[in-house]
Structure 1
Amino acid sequence: MRTTNVRPTTIRKLTIFCAAAGLIATGGMGTALAKGGGGTAKPPKGIVSPWVVPTLATPAFSVPAAQLHGFDDTGLARNATVDGAACPTADPADFGGTVTINGVVITIPCNLIVQMPANTLSWADFVHGTGGSAPLGTDGLELRAVGNTVGTKHIAGLAFVSQQSANTGRGEIKGIDYANGALKIANAAGGSVTVQLNDPKIAGLHDSAGADTGRFSNGQSPDNRFSVDQDNPTIHAGTGYPMCVPRTDPSVKDDPLCPQKNRPLAPGCRNFSVAGVVLPASGELSAPAAGQKYCSQYVMPAFTGLPTTGPDPSQQAPFEVGDTVDYSGTLIHGTEDYISAHTVEANLGIYTQPGTQPSYLAIGEFGVGTADPLATAANGAAQETQDRMFLEAETTDVKTAVDIYYEDRNPDGSVRNRWISPFEMTGENGVPISGPTGGITTQNTGAQPQRARLRATKAPNGLLSQPDRTVRVGVRSLCLPTPVNVTTTINQAALDACFKNAPIRANGLQPGQYIAPVFEYIFPENVMPGDPIVPNDLWHLPFLVNGEGTGNAAALAPSPW
C-alpha cells in the first residue's frame, strides 16, 4: 500500500484505495442523483466554476524568455548517467544526470521522477535499478522526455519509460502455469505465448503455506522496474475487478487468495435482475453461451464479512482457461522468450452490488491541460492554451456516482484531495437530493455499464488550474465530498481522512478508489506556423515548482525554464 510520505529512493507505487462506507440501498446513489443523459459527462456550456484555483505565477526564467522552446522527444535511451553536481542535497537518491535520445543529450534535473508503465521511480533508481539491480539495463529502452530547450540545453521536466509502449497483445488462455504466475496464450500456429505476471513477492503478504507471495500471483519478477502496480489492480477484468493467477492448481488445492468460488459456473450467473438492480441504459447482462463453463458476466453479492461458500467481493477472481485477455509488458529473451506483463485485462464483466463496498475501479485513458491562461507564450509567440480534461474509468458499480480529485500535496507531504467533478464540470446531479452536486454516472446512463466517462474540452475557468502528478477517482459509497456550505465548500478534513483510513481487501488492495499518474499533460500549442516554438509551461505544475512536501520529491534543479 502506498504510504502518505513517499521517498523517490523507493518504488513509488500507484494506489487503489477503498473504504467500507455505510451501505446504500440497492440501486445505488446514482439512480437518484443522475440528471444528465448519454454516455459522456461534460460541463454545461458557458457555466462558471463554483471556485477558482489561481494559476501559479510566471517564475523568473534562467535565460531570456525568447530562448525558451518546448520539446517532447521519444527515442531509445543511450548513455544514461547519474550525477549529483547540480543537486541542492547530497542524497544520491535525488540525483539527476543525462541521457541521449536520438543523438540529443537531455539534462535530467535532480528530483525528477520517472514514470514506468505501472511503476514510479527516481532517476537514480531507474538507472541503477531498485535495490541496485537493473537486469534489462537502460540502453535501448524507449524513453519520452518532455521539457524545454533553455538556452542551448535540453532540460527535461517529465520522463516516461517503457521497453516499447505499443507492445500489446490479445489472445485466449489455453493453459496456466500456477507455480510461475504465467498464462499460456494461444497463438496462430497451434502453440502458445507465455505471459507471466511481473509481480514481485511482498514481504508480509503470505500464501496459504505462510510464504511471501505476490499481490496477484505466486510472485516473480525478472526486473522490478517493470512490475505490475501492486497497489492498483493493473491485473483486472473489463470492469476494474482485480484478477489473479492461482498459486496452486485448483484441481488439487484451492488458493484462498484467489478462490475458485469467485468464478461461478454457468448457467448460474447472477445478472442485474437477479441482483435486484434497476437496469442501466445498456440493459441486462448477456446470458452465457451454450456450453460455456464459467460465467463471463455476473454481479457479486454484497460483502457481509461472514464466511461464505459463494462469491466473495473482498477477494480477487481467478483467470480461467478460455478467458480472452489483453496484455502489455516487457519481452524477456531466454531459452523460451516470454512477456513479463505489468498489465492484463480479461474480457469479463464482473460487477459488485451497487451502493456497497468493496467495489473496484480502474482508470483507462486520460489527460489534463496545464491551464495556462495566457494567449501569448512567455517567449512572445501566440499560443493556443489547453484548459481541459478527458478521462475514462471502469467501475464495478453501475449506479453509484464516481468523482475525480487532484492529489494536492501539503508541505508536510500529506495529501489534500481537491474535488474537481462538481455539476459545473460534469453536468450531472445539478439539484441533488442530498450530498454534493456532480459526479459521473455514465455507467448507468450510457452504452457501456462499466464506463464512467468525462469529456471537458472547455472546463470552467479556474477549476483545473495547478494540475497534479496524480489523479484519484473514487465512488461515493466510499468517500463523499460532503458539503458544509450549500454545495461549494466541502468538509475537506473528513474527505481526506476517509481516503487515508480506507480498509484493505483483496490481498492488500484498497477498493473503491484508484490513483493513477498523469501520462498526458496537454501543453499549449503554436497558433501560427513559423513562429518560435512556444515553451511547455512546466512552471504551472506545482509538483515540479514546489516539490511534493516532506519525504517526497523536491523541486527540480536545474529547472526546465
Structure 2
Amino acid sequence: MHFFTLLGGVLLAVTQAFAQSIPFVIDGPLESVSAKDASFNTGGSVTVAGMAITIPANLLVQFPAAFVPYKAFAADYAANAGSYAGWEVSVEGNYVNGVPIAGTFFISQLIGGAGAGVVESVNIDGTMKIANGGPTLRINTPGGVYAKAYTNRPFLTVDEENPSIASFSGFPMCIPRSANDPDCPSTNRAANGDRVYTPKDTSVMAPFIPGDYVTWAGIKNGPEILVYGIVAENVQPLTTADNGDPVYVRVEDVIIAINDATTNTEFGTTRFTGYLSDSTASISVYRLDVDPCTGEETEVQIAAGTLKAGDVRNKFDIRFRDLTTKTLGAREYRIKASKGQKTVAKGIEAGQYVAPISEVIWPEVNVPGSVWPENAFQLFGHLKDGFVFDNKQWGQLNPWPGLNAPTPAKICTGDELNNVPAPGPNGALPVADAGTNILAQQFGSITTLTGANTNAALTDAQVTFAWTGPVGITITGADKAQASFLNPWGTTAVTRTFTLKICLVSDATKCSTDTVDVVTDKTQETIKITSYQFVNKNGGTITVTAESNNVLPANPNGANLQLTFGTTTAAMVQAGPNSGVYTFSRSGVGKQPASISVKSRHNPTAVTATALLRRGLRSIRFMRN
C-alpha cells in the first residue's frame, strides 16, 4: 500500500500527459490546510507530503469515529495548528487535467495507530491504567455514554450510538462514574470471574475491571491516550434474543470492492466481518442510501449470512463480488441481526451497527501497459448526489474529482427541510403521472411503482403523494412518489390497477390522479449465487449466499433454494421474512468442491458457481471504524 502511495505522488504525476483523469492516493504528513471561503460547505486546499491537493466543496473530513465539515476542520487547524503537528492523512482522488482533486479525506494522529494491554486499574474519572508501565486511557465520550463526560476534543469522539466501547461479543462496556453507577453496575460482571458469561441485566453495560485484556485506538493527549475505540478481547458476555435479550453486533471490517465496468480490469471481493452476542442470530447487510434533499435514509439490502459453522466466537464473515453489475456505494452501511433489535441503556440501538467503510478495493488492471481507470466516485451516492448534514443540504462534490461531473439524481429546491413548504405559484396545480404499465412481473417478487408530479412549477415538497391499490395488497411507501408492493403467489396471470393521487399541500382539495396497470404472470423465479467461499478449517467449511427475486417465505410458495455440492443436496436458510436472500454454511465437508449449484422450487434450471479466490489487490483505506 505504501509503495502504491509513492507511485500516486510521483509516477502518476509524470504520466498525466497520457490521460486527462488518473487516480491517486496519498498517505503522508499534513503540512497545511486552508478554506476557500466562509460558506458552511466550503472546500479549500491541503498540502500532504509536499503535494497541494484541491478539496472540493461539500466534502466531509473523516476522523476515526466522526465526520466533520471541512470548514470546521480548517478553522480548528488555523486556531490550533500545533496540535496537528505530525498528523497523518490519507487522501484519494484523481488528477483531472493535471490538477489533483480529492474525493475522500481521512485524518488521524497516526493512521492505524492502536495499542493493547492488560487493565491494571479503573478510575471513576473516566480513565483506566494499563499494566506493566502502560499508558493511561481516557474514553472521549462527550455525552457521558461510556464514562464520565469529556468534551475537549470533539472531532475525536467515540461513537455514542453504536457500541464502539465494547467486549469481544459487541456487548457495550463502560467505566463507572461513581462507586455505585446504575448505568455501569459491577453486577454485570460475573461474580465468579468468568469472562464468557450471561450478564445479570443484558440491557445495561458491563464495567471494565483489572485483568481485562483490551485493544484500543486513540491519540496521545498530554500524558494520556484519548481513545475513541476499545475492545475487551478476553470478555464475551452472551445474550439470548429468544429470552427477550438484545443482540449486540460488533463490526470489524466493512470492505467494499468496486466494479466500475471498466475494461482490462478485475474486481475484488466485498467483505463484512464481525461478531454477535447471540449464537442463534443471523445477519443482513444494508447500504444506506440518503435522499440529498430531505436526509431520509433508505435501506437497500445487499447481502445476508449466518455465523461461521462451529465458531464459538459467533463470527460472521460475509463475502461476495459484483461480477455483472456496477457497485453502488454509500457513506455508511447498517449491519442487522435477525432478532434482538431494541433500544437499551444510554440510547444505544442493539441488534444493529451502522458503520462507515473501512477499506475500498478499486478495480485492478490485468493487462500490462494499460492506463489505470480513474477512481469512480460517481458510484457513491453521497458524493454524486449530495446529502443532508447538520440540517443543511450539501450538494455534489465541486469541483468534481473526475473528468466528467455526473448528473445528480435529484435537484433540491431548498424547501425540503422546512416544516411548512412554500406554496406554489398562484393557480399551479399538480399533474399526476403513475408511469407506464408494468409487464411480466414475477409472482412473489417486489414491484416498484414510480410516479411523479409533472408540473414543473411545483416541487415535491409542495405536494403530497398517495398510492392506493386492490384490496389485500399492502403498499410500502404509499405516501411517496416511489412505492412498492409484494406480488402474492399465483399461477394464473393477473392484472392489478394502482392509483396515484397528488394534492397540493396548501390546498388538499386541489388534486390530480393517474393509474398504472401491473401484469404479474411469471412463475419461474430468477436466482443468482452472490457468494461462495471455502476454507480449510474444521474439516473443510463451505459458505454460500444466493438470492431469488421471489421473496415470499420459503414455505409454502417461496423460492426454497436448494444447494448441491458433490453428492450432497441441502436446503438453504432464508435470511428473514420477505427476503430473497438464502444462506448455507457447513463444516466437515472435506475437500473444496470444484463447483456448486443452486436450484429453486419453481425454476428447474440450476445456477452454478466456482469458489471465489482471494488475491492481492490495490487497497485504499479512506474510512476507518
TM range (shorter): 0.5 to 0.7
**Runs of 4+ with >4 A deviation:** 132-136
Cα shift at 1:134? 5.4
Structure 2 unaligned spans of 5+:
1-15, 403-625
Cα shift at 1:548? 2.0
For the 8 Å contact 1:127–1:138, the answer to whether it is kept is: no
Cα shift at 1:552? 4.7
Alignment partner of 2:148 out of 197, 210, 218: 218
d(CA) in 2 for partners of 1:416 and 1:261? 39
Q: Whose RCO is larger (CA < 8 A, sep 6+)?
A: 1
Give the match for residue 163 of structure 1: 109
Is it true that 1:465 corresponds to 2:391 in the alignment?
Answer: no
d(CA) in 1 for partners of 2:353 and 2:82? 29
Cα shift at 1:478? 4.9
d(CA) in 1 for partners of 2:82 and 2:312? 39
Is it true that 1:321 corresponds to 2:210 in the alignment?
Answer: yes
Alignment partner of 2:261 out of 369, 373, 387: 373
Cα shift at 1:139? 4.2
SS in 1 for 2:120: strand
For the 8 Å contact 2:241–2:340, the answer to whether it is kept is: no
Query: Which moves more between the two structures, 313-322 or 545-554?
Result: 545-554
For the 8 Å contact 1:135–1:223, the answer to whether it is kept is: no
Cα shift at 1:71? 0.4
Amino acid at match of 2:232: A
Give the match for residue 172 of structure 1: 118
SS in 1 for 2:305: coil
C-alpha change, 1:313 and 1:135, in structure 2 (3 Å) is farther
Cα shift at 1:110? 0.5
Cα shift at 1:295? 2.0
Give the match for residue 19 of structure 2: 66
SS in 2 for 1:321: coil
For the 8 Å contact 2:34–2:44, the answer to whether it is kept is: yes
d(CA) in 2 for partners of 1:552 and 1:441? 38
Is it true that 1:518 corresponds to 2:357 in the alignment?
Answer: yes
1:402-441 equivalence runs, <5 A = 402-410=283-291, 411-421=293-303, 439-441=304-306
1:143-154 equivalence runs, <5 A = 143-154=89-100
1:52-98 C-alpha deviation (Å, 9 max, x unpaired): xxxxxxxxxxx9993110001111111101113xxxxxx62201111
SS in 2 for 1:368: strand
1:211-261 C-alpha deviation (Å, 9 max, x unpaired): xxx11001114411111111111100001110000001x3xxx10110111
1:412-436 C-alpha deviation (Å, 9 max, x unpaired): 2100000112xxxxxxxxxxxxxxx
C-alpha change, 1:515 and 1:65, in structure 2 (3 Å) is farther
For the 8 Å contact 1:134–1:223, the answer to whether it is kept is: no
Alignment partner of 2:313 out of 446, 449, 459: 449
1:103-182 equivalence runs, <5 A = 103-129=50-76, 137-179=83-125, 181-182=126-127
The alignment covers a number of residue pairs equal to 382
Give the match for residue 29 of structure 2: 76
Cα shift at 1:148? 0.2
d(CA) in 2 for partners of 1:153 and 1:543? 22
Is it true that 1:259 corresponds to 2:190 in the alignment?
Answer: no
For the 8 Å contact 1:360–1:512, the answer to whether it is kept is: yes
Alignment partner of 1:230 out of 160, 166, 190: 160
d(CA) in 2 for partners of 1:79 and 1:135? 9
Cα shift at 1:476? 1.6
C-alpha change, 1:162 and 1:230, in structure 2 (3 Å) is same
C-alpha change, 1:450 and 1:552, in structure 2 (3 Å) is farther
1:337-373 C-alpha deviation (Å, 9 max, x unpaired): 2211111100211111144442211210221122212
d(CA) in 1 for partners of 2:324 and 2:368? 27
Is it true that 1:384 corresponds to 2:266 in the alignment?
Answer: yes
Alignment partner of 1:339 out of 196, 220, 225: 225
Is it true that 1:183 corresponds to 2:128 in the alignment?
Answer: yes
Is it true that 1:475 corresponds to 2:337 in the alignment?
Answer: yes
SS in 2 for 1:413: coil
Residue identity over aligned pairs, in percent, reads 28
Is it true that 1:195 corresponds to 2:141 in the alignment?
Answer: no
Q: TM-score, normalised by structure 2?
A: 0.58
Amino acid at match of 2:127: A
Alignment partner of 2:347 out of 498, 501, 508: 508
Give the match for residue 252 of structure 2: 364
Cα shift at 1:449? 2.9
d(CA) in 2 for partners of 1:401 and 1:136? 47
Cα shift at 1:390? 0.7
C-alpha change, 1:136 and 1:473, in structure 2 (3 Å) is farther
Instruction: Looking at secondary structure, tell me which structure has more strand per residue.
Output: 2
For the 8 Å contact 2:254–2:356, the answer to whether it is kept is: no
Cα shift at 1:155? 0.2
Give the match for residue 194 of structure 2: 295
d(CA) in 1 for partners of 2:33 and 2:105? 13
C-alpha change, 1:473 and 1:243, in structure 2 (3 Å) is same
d(CA) in 1 for partners of 2:79 and 2:162? 24
Cα shift at 1:529? 4.0
C-alpha change, 1:548 and 1:65, in structure 2 (3 Å) is farther
Cα shift at 1:193? 1.6
Cα shift at 1:330? 0.0
Amino acid at match of 1:298: Y
For the 8 Å contact 1:244–1:318, the answer to whether it is kept is: yes
Cα shift at 1:391? 1.2
For the 8 Å contact 1:118–1:342, the answer to whether it is kept is: yes
C-alpha change, 1:109 and 1:139, in structure 2 (3 Å) is farther
d(CA) in 1 for partners of 2:359 and 2:134? 34
d(CA) in 1 for partners of 2:358 and 2:393? 19
1:437-473 C-alpha deviation (Å, 9 max, x unpaired): xx32225x242432111122x34633x7311111110
C-alpha change, 1:245 and 1:476, in structure 2 (3 Å) is same
For the pair shown, which has the larger CA radius of gyration, 1 or 2? 2
C-alpha change, 1:225 and 1:177, in structure 2 (3 Å) is same
Structure 1 unaligned spans of 5+:
1-62, 85-90, 203-213, 267-293, 301-310, 376-381, 422-438, 480-502
Cα shift at 1:327? 1.0
d(CA) in 1 for partners of 2:344 and 2:280? 21
